[in-house]
Amino acid sequence: MKVPYVEDKSTQGGRTAPSEADVSRMIRAEVETWTPRRGPDWSDMMIRLAAAGPSPWVIYSVASATMVVILITAFVLGSWLQIGALAPQPIDTHVPH
């Protein structure tokens, strides 16, 4: 919507400020003629979201570091709790005395 520029102080020979009735009429006309588009513009929205967030290499780096921390933590915790193949296995030996 285009609205004329309005100054606090009037100047000689310039445009006169529109009255409240004129502004109200312009806004009402703009609102009444507006029609929504047929649906969301998904491609535009995805482009804006991609531009707003961090770059892909930052996301992949953080995800990789997080995965390494999770795997190391699982290994250490599994060893400490002696879970699964990380637990000490019993060995049947016959050592002569």
Domain ranges of the chain: 55-87
What is the residue-level pLDDT of the chain in tens, covering all 97 positions?
566 665 666 555 556 778 899 999 999 998 888 887 677 777 787 788 777 878 889 989 999 999 999 999 999 898 888 887 766 677 778 877 7
Quick one: pLDDT at residue 86?
66
Q: Which pTM does this prediction carry?
A: 0.40
Phi, psi torsion values for 93, nearest 5 degrees: -130, 150
d(CA 16, CA 23): 13
User: What pLDDT is recorded for position 64?
Assistant: 97
- The confidence score (pLDDT) of residue 72 equals 95
Which pLDDT does position 85 carry in this prediction? 73
